[in-house]
A and B are shown apart, each in its own frame.
Chain A
């Protein structure tokens, strides 16, 4: 069991008598996995993840952290194992200065003062907050407050991180800093559960993606599996990164449909362009069987296009 970081069995939850929000969720997250949880607004994503740090308790079913049931364990106790980033920064900011806010979590966990200081300064530097460490968080912009909450979580350094839409409101630089941090944590063996609407993040960073729809899991696989199913994406009200839609639109010309990022798309396109340029000026004596075959198929399909 110790190899499973997070688990739910038959988890049901309802805020109101007549309308369950989670309908029997069975989920197992291995230690060290980078898992993305996606789904439409109101599909139950936030409700599900709030069970992992004890903010919500099952109506029916069970929730486990490292194999141990959460029932009867306090939010404070679970916080040692599960670090939680709320969807909205004001749900978790209350200190008088940025530095105090970032120090609060590790201090509360009983980390020794010298180590708290070290972690706080490192977290402030990582999220570009050192210059404003003495300011009250309340006067900062939404995006900067979001960075403060990320720095707080970084300073706690929990083995499991649950992040509810961490990049909303961040600028491009902030998204880059956050993604680099998550990648580092993943490489260091932390378990990461990321709730997001940013399909680009899912494609580029998650090992596994789970799709939630109306309180149930409707898909579970690698991001490539998931994004290869446009009808599933539509049904679950999920967007496709533009570059994937472009790759699929160009598949009749022979472009590999699995280009998920700007870089993979451009490499696939370059390869296709070069192959087609070679094919269109055919050296008469030569016949590269596999390449020619591929190109013929591509150009035949391409001719059918308007």
Chain B
């Protein structure tokens, strides 16, 4: 049982809009697991339940959202039904899709320190971790600035610095690359890669950038888009595709139906295969250049 994330038979519905209204499952029958040190990407359409899954893993759903939950979610050995969010904070760190949702302190430094103070760490240790996190994400120049005066990208990096400074064994990231420029993306991905290597952190990220997924994720899960009309009876299939990014990104037509983008180079490979009868399966530049060079002769 070395799973850092274990999800079994999970169904979840938010509270109905009116009392006695129909139950609408947002996640409908999900089984998922991730080992220590594993990097899992989750893709899916806008309303496939990705954010809800993140909230469930951090225990915010159902503890703060209410609603109906069936099945089991275990994070770093803790069943989220038995541990409300404060008891899970040391186990699972969550980066929200919108950084404003988690920035509320007087300045950037206090923001990073807040979670560490709640963990009850000694002051010197807190200071060390704050300094390191601000340096790692190029935020030293805004150390004493209120979060609402930061740019979109700076806010995102500050939120991530706050989560990673807590060094949780499980890191949940909801669209971590959204709105970041290439330098910001590289920083985020490099910081995550380091945490995984040095601490065997388990990473689960929802992500719409297929290039980031194919470059970093060990495994990719694509969630089915649930019906928009209430469904009370039928138990749907929450996972449409699962495998390594290379395996999943071969199903270009199915991905399009699921509302998921494929890497540009996978689309190049598929187009050339169709027109020239080749059998390319590259995803990255490093794979594509030698393959095409050989083909060109």
Show the binding face of A for B, using Cβ within 8 Å: 15-16, 39-42, 46, 87-88, 90, 131-132, 135-136, 139-144, 146-147, 165, 168-175, 197, 200, 237-239, 241-243, 245-246, 249-250, 253, 262-263, 265-266, 269-270, 272-273, 276, 280, 302, 305
Contact = CB atoms under 8 A, between A and B. Distances in A.
Interface of B: 14, 17, 44-48, 50-51, 97-98, 100, 149, 151-154, 156, 175, 178-185, 208, 211, 228-229, 255-256, 259-261, 263-265, 267-268, 271-272, 275-276, 284-285, 288-289, 292-293, 295-297
Given A87-B152, A90-B98, A142-B97, A40 B181 contact: yes
B209 to A, nearest CB: 9
A174 B46 contact: yes
A41 B180 contact: yes
A41 B154 contact: yes
B98 A142 contact: yes
10 contacts: A41-B181, A41-B183, A169-B208, A171-B46, A173-B45, A238-B182, A249-B285, A250-B292, A265-B268, A269-B292
Given A41-B181, A171-B259, A172-B256, A276 B268 contact: no
Contacts of B184: 40-41
B47 A172 contact: no
Contacts, number: 150
Q: Lowest 9 A-B CB distances belong to which pairs?
A: A41-B153, A143-B46, A239-B182, A171-B259, A42-B151, A172-B261, A173-B259, A171-B45, A237-B183
B51 A276 contact: no
Contacts of B295: 273
Given A41-B156, A249-B289, 14 more contacts: A42-B153, A42-B154, A136-B17, A141-B46, A142-B98, A144-B46, A169-B175, A171-B260, A174-B259, A243-B268, A250-B292, A266-B275, A270-B272, A273-B295
Residue of B44, B181, B184 with highest tally of chain A CB at under 10 A: B181
Given A141-B47, A237-B183, A242 B178 contact: no
Contact of A243 (B260, B265, B275, B276): B265
Nearest to A89: B98
Nearest to B155: A41
A142 B46 contact: yes
B44 A269 contact: no
A273 B265 contact: no
B264 A197 contact: no
Contacts of A175: 261
B106 to A, nearest CB: 16
Nearest to A298: B296
B173 to A, nearest CB: 14
Contact of B181 (A140, A238, A253, A280): A238
Nearest to B101: A90
B264 A200 contact: yes
Given A238-B182, A242-B263, A276-B297, A144 B272 contact: no
B265 A242 contact: yes
Contacts of A136: 17
Given A169-B208, A172-B260, A273-B295, A144 B178 contact: no
Contacts of B182: 197, 237-239
Contact of A237 (B181, B259, B263, B275): B181
Contacts of B50: 141
Contacts of A41: 151-154, 156, 179-181, 183-184
Contacts of A131: 228-229
A16 B149 contact: yes
A246 B293 CA distance: 11
Contact of B275 (A144, A239, A245, A270): A270
A170 B261 CA distance: 10
Contacts of A269: 268, 272, 292
Contacts of A263: 271
Contacts of A250: 289, 292-293, 296
Nearest to B228: A131
Nearest to B174: A142
Contacts of B297: 276, 280
Contact of A40 (B156, B183, B284): B183
Contact of B47 (A39, A140, A270, A280): A140
B294 to A, nearest CB: 11
User: Interface centre among B48, B152, B271, B295, by most A CB within 10 Å?
Assistant: B152
A242 B151 CA distance: 26
A183 to B, nearest CB: 18
